[in-house]
Structure 1
Amino acid sequence: MTKILVTGHRGLVGRHLVPRLKSAGYQVVGLDIADGSGDITQPENIRSVISNVSGVVHLAAVSRVIWGERNPSLCWQTNAMASHSILEAASHCKQKPWVLLASSREVYGEPDRLPVSEDAPVCPVNIYGRAKAKMEQYAREARLDGLNTAVVRLANVYGCVEDHEDRVLPAFCRNAAEGRPLRVDGFDHLFDFTHVDDTVRGIVKLVALLNASERDLPPIHLLPGIGTTLFEAAKIAVDAADSDSSIVAAPSRTYDVGRFIGDPARAKKLLGWEAKISPSEGIRALVKAFQTNASLIETA
């Protein structure tokens, strides 16, 4: 049975990916500071688990732009330097496992035109984006040295009530479900929201290709290619909850990218993948999940 290491297996994507990998017949070992299985910033933790795996799905990261701004040193150490350590450890393994690295639409910064293709210039505007761009550079260098690497660029993944409560869509959906105000940092900010089920489905397809020794894969978006403004997302959440929650405008943050829609054509061509869940459908489903969760808590 093929054994795969998933870093950050307790995060939003990891929690949904691991069961899918297991159901597809893979053996999975995890590394995540959240459950004490290992801190990727400590190279010895990486070396202890990577020596006997066939592949690595590297998800672990300081996963929010705002956290990177609050602690840029930790963001760089985790997202850039620890990624380098993982690639270096894989390169020194006898069997040289393939490494799939989760990057972000933040590497593009403020794009000149929409939708953005994977060949658009990399020009990040915050420490999170710069660290992810550096991670991608390390992946390219490792590939030149013979390691099979691939990069998937994710965009505003959502879809779980257990996500960080202050992340934008979970915050909108929870507040709408509870009848509380929705704070919107930039009404006209435009994003390509991707449901976690679609994200995981795409990653599983990439894992299958890499496990079949597919090499030299280019960076690939996993996203629907549908733009939704923050005001539109908030309105969908309030309507889905049938609540009287107010939508409150707040100033946008200076380090946030204001607009992004990605081009999903490459994923369709190389993976046969398309997003199945539209942002409107996904937001409505998440509101209902929060309402159900609240009802279960009340009756417990």
Structure 2
Amino acid sequence: MTKTILVTGSCGLVGRRLCASLRSHGVLVKELDLLGDGSHNGDITRTADIECAIQNCVGVVHLAAVSRVVWGQRDPELCWRTNVMAVQNLIQAALAQSTKPWVVFSSSREVYGQALSLPVGEETPLNPLNIYARSKAEGERIFLEARKQGLQTAVVRLSNVYGCTKDHADRVIPAFARAAIQGLPLRVEGSDHTFDFTHVDDVVRAINFLIDALCSRQKFLPPPVHLVTGNQTSLGQLAELSLRLARSGAVITEAAPRSYDVAQFYGDPTRAHTILGWKSEISLETGLSRLINDFSQELKLHRSVEVAA
């Protein structure tokens, strides 16, 4: 029997790749996204949209969110309404189904704040520093509490996912890649800040493993799990790597880091390997090289269209 799975945030970086991957495996995918077309269009903050979309689904992968720290800082009320109140509505809609679907929540490494030791394991106490991180921590709490009402839930914590040209242009990896290709300055805000950059294809593969486990094991209630590489790269190193891979002569300019950003993070990937049999396969150099090539091809196409016009 064909499985039907709802993916919220289906037009986002992870959502696009996940929907394509699920369909390639014969899954019937329902989508819910503000940017979706036709029946795929919907707002997770509207209860009616969630209640309609979740009908007859065996599971839900909840990716939709105010998904960036800076957006949360600009509009805290929208961040909380989208990342917390909509999560409550989603859980209630799932509990109301005659056959309750499993539900996966996409959280963030931001929930830890500035951890005292690295690498960060999932048992590290949560210490969110900004409204976005607090909203994700509260979303996790809601999801884990829902288990007491009989809902099968799982939480994944993502870290600096990259790997698609459709990503937000001002995120650090797309911004560095585009600037390097075009010979523009690479602005580094906190060159010694280090992060765990994870390729979107690795993340999608892990979520597929998690979905398989949730579908095949009725009482599978995993603890929160990192989808990370276990490697750290500074923003300064990332900028230099971008220039090298793009064969660019662009310059690197340094600026002060933002006050609300975590300065260092890289995660321990052991739990994902133990529970799901997953570990990342795409190195930062390989993933960034692919992305730079994709951006280069898009730029060439854009220029050829301009010439033809």
Q: TM-score range by the shorter chain?
A: over 0.9
- In structure 2, do the counterparts of structure 1 residues 72 and 22 end up closer, same or farther at CA, with 3 Å as the change threshold? same
Please tell me the residue identity of whatever aligns with 1:12.
L
Q: Quick one: which of 262, 270, 276 aligns to 1:271?
A: 276
1:103 pairs with 2:102: no
Distance 1:214 1:266 in 2: 18
Residue 214 of structure 1 and its aligned partner are, at CA, apart by: 4.6
Name the amino acid aligned to 2:229.
P
In the TM superposition, 1:206-217 aligns within 5 A as 206-212=210-216, 213-217=218-222
Q: Give the alignment of 1:1-300 within 5 angstroms.
A: 1-35=2-36, 37-212=41-216, 213-300=218-305
Counterpart-to-counterpart distance in 1, 2:126 and 2:159: 15
Matched position secondary structure for 1:123 = coil
Q: CA deviation at 1:120?
A: 0.5
Instruction: Report % sequence identity.
Output: 50
Deviates more, 1:149-158 or 1:27-36: 27-36
Cα deviations by residue, 1:14-68 (Å, 9 ceiling, x for unpaired): 0000011111221100000112510000111000111211100000001111001
CA distance in 2, matches of 1:123, 1:200: 27
Per the alignment, in what secondary structure is the counterpart of residue 6 of structure 2?
Answer: strand
Aligned residues: 300
SS state at 1:34 partner: coil
- Give 2:58's aligned amino acid: S
- Name the aligned partner's letter for residue 9 of structure 1: S
Is contact 1:233-1:283 (8 Å) kept? no
For residues 156-195 of structure 1, give each alpha carbon's deviation from its aligned partner in whole angstroms, at most 9, with x where no partner exists.
0001111100011000001001110001110000000000
Q: Give 1:154's aligned amino acid.
A: L
User: CA offsets, 1:207-263, max 9 Å, x none?
Assistant: 111111252111111111110000000100011111111111011001001100000
Structure 1 runs, 4 residues or longer, greater than 3 Å off: none
Contact 1:236 1:284 in 2 (8 A): no
Segments of 5+ residues of structure 2 without an aligned counterpart are none
Higher deviation after alignment, 260-269 or 35-44:
35-44
TM-score, length basis structure 1: 0.98
Deviations 1:100-127 (A, max 9, x none): 0100000000001000011110110000
**1:217 aligned partner, one-letter code:** P
Deviates more, 1:142-151 or 1:205-214: 205-214
More deviation, 233-242/273-282: 273-282
1:72 aligned partner, one-letter code: P
CA displacement at 1:299 relative to structure 2? 2.0
Counterpart CA distance in 2 for 1:134 and 1:169 is 28
Scaled by the length of structure 2, what TM-score is found? 0.95
SS in 2 for 1:276: coil
Q: Distance in 1 between matches of 2:55 and 2:102?
A: 12
